[in-house]
């Protein structure tokens, strides 16, 4: 990987963690929608470029021509995948050095499975419009990778958390809630394991569909209670889900209930740094890095 030139479409929270894990000699470039975020990307070791999700800039096309690895972390919109719309033909025909592609998707593509354990062979029956678009985007990337004859790794991620995005931050800011819906569980994934999984697969040029998720699907209220115990504070009171005030998006997450297996990615030889929320929260509290960088200190994705 010494000569790797990795291009990230959508170099945000996960992209920064990925860059932090890069091996010596690897170059990381990535897009953002705002010039205001250039400094943060540069501090993370990422050469920044602008991409607003619409315009196919000449500078990006020029850089893509020399990239060896491609990581896509931009969600599809109502019109489809923005990266494929703007650069699909360039990726298919004008990236002579391309060796491997990763597409970051979501376990939301599976929809609701009534709390049962599922793996990558489970039927995709997405509930939300955003997850339906993800299924379509996955298929489009599979087709492009086949056209290029390069390995494609589709990473289906569960709720992302890590420094700056976790229950400690929510407790400190007074935003933590313990919503209780009987039988409801979520999987989670620490951002360091997203980075670790990407490098593990990239270095070996492994393709396929992989659930990148922890070993311990659990009720969200348990995570908040565990974080509060580590902080030595009282957890917020439990609130019945049925009477809680939630945004439509937050409520939609509770409409999907499943336990997601990570056996496939483990079978490739990957060992999780944080296999469950307890080990991750304990490590972040002990290390004191749970607040994270200033620009990462915002609410967790899903119920992290």
Secondary structure of residue 155 in the 3-state scheme: strand
**Is residue 58 domain-shared with residue 177, that is, in the same domain?**
no
Q: What is the pLDDT of residue 249?
A: 87
Domains of the chain: total: 2
Residue 298 has pLDDT above 60, yes or no: no
Secondary structure of residue 204 in the 3-state scheme: helix
Q: What is the pLDDT of residue 297?
A: 47
Residue 207 domain-assigned?
yes
- Tell me how far apart the 2 most distant CA atoms of the chain are, in Å: 58
For the chain, what is the mean pLDDT? 94
**Is residue 142 domain-shared with residue 167, that is, in the same domain?**
no
**Is residue 18 domain-shared with residue 135, that is, in the same domain?**
yes
Q: Which domain holds residue 169?
A: 163-186+217-257+275-296
Distance from the Cα of residue 205 to its chain's centroid: 19
CATH code, 33: 3.40.50.720
CA 234 – CA 37 distance, rounded (Å): 36
**Is residue 9 domain-shared with residue 50, that is, in the same domain?**
yes
Q: Would you say 88 and 144 are in contact if contact means Cβ atoms under 8 Å apart?
A: yes
Residue 301 domain-assigned?
no
Question: pLDDT digits over 85-96, tens only?
Answer: 999 999 999 999
Question: pLDDT digits over 256-283, tens only?
Answer: 999 999 999 999 999 999 999 999 999 9
User: Which helix (H) or strand (E) segment is 69 a member of?
Assistant: strand 69-72
**Is residue 47 domain-shared with residue 80, that is, in the same domain?**
yes
**Is residue 33 domain-shared with residue 182, that is, in the same domain?**
no
Phi-psi region of 112 (alpha: psi -120 to 50; beta: other; left: phi over 0): beta
Q: What is the pLDDT of residue 58?
A: 86
Residue 73 domain-assigned?
yes
Question: pLDDT digits over 130-148, tens only?
Answer: 999 999 999 999 999 999 9
**Is residue 252 domain-shared with residue 195, that is, in the same domain?**
no
Residue 270 domain-assigned?
no
* pLDDT-derived band at 57, boundaries 50, 70, 90: confident
* pLDDT-derived band at 294, boundaries 50, 70, 90: low
Q: DSSP class of residue 10?
A: S
> Cβ–Cβ contacts within 10 Å for residue 93, how many?
10
Residue 118 domain-assigned?
yes
Burial of 29 from C-beta contacts in 10 A (0-12 / 13-18 / 19+): buried
CA 108 – CA 121 distance, rounded (Å): 14
Q: What percent of the chain has pLDDT over 70?
A: 96
**Is residue 107 domain-shared with residue 236, that is, in the same domain?**
no
Q: Which runs of E-coded beta strand occur in the chain?
A: 5-9, 27-32, 47-50, 69-72, 100-106, 117-118, 152-157, 159-161, 178-180, 188-190, 208-212, 238-240, 259-260
Q: What is the pLDDT of residue 293?
A: 78
C-alpha distances out from residue 169 to 249, 296, 298, Å: 21, 11, 8
């Amino acid at each position: 990987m010494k000569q790797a030139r990795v291009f990230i479409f959508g170099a945000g929270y996960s992209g920064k963690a990925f860059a932090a894990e890069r091996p010596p000699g690897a170059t990381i470039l990535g897009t953002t929608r705002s010039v205001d975020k250039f400094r943060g990307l540069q501090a993370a070791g990422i050469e920044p470029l602008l991409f607003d999700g619409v315009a196919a800039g000449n500078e990006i096309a020029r850089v893509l021509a020399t990239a060896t690895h491609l990581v896509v972390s931009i969600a599809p919109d109502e019109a489809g995948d923005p990266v494929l719309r703007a650069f699909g033909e360039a990726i298919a025909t004008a990236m002579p050095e391309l060796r491997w592609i990763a597409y970051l998707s979501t376990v939301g593509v599976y929809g609701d499975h009534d709390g049962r354990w599922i793996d990558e062979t489970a039927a995709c029956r997405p509930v939300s419009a955003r997850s339906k678009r993800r299924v379509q985007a996955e298929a489009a990337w599979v087709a492009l990778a086949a056209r290029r004859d390069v390995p494609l790794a589709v990473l289906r991620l569960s709720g992302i958390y890590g420094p700056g995005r976790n229950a400690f931050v929510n407790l400190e800011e007074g935003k933590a809630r313990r919503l209780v819906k009987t039988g409801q569980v979520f999987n989670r994934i620490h951002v360091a394991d997203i980075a670790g999984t990407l490098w593990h697969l990239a270095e070996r040029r492994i393709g396929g569909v992989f659930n990148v998720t922890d070993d311990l699907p659990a009720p969200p209220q348990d995570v908040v209670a565990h974080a509060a115990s580590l902080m030595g504070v009282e957890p917020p009171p439990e609130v019945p889900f049925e009477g809680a005030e939630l945004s439509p998006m937050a409520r939609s997450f509770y409409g999907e209930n499943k336990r997601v297996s990570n056996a496939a990615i483990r079978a490739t030889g990957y060992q999780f740094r944080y296999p469950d929320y307890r080990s991750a929260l304990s490590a972040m509290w002990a290390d004191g890095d749970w607040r994270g960088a200033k620009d990462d200190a915002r609410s967790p994705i899903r119920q992290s």
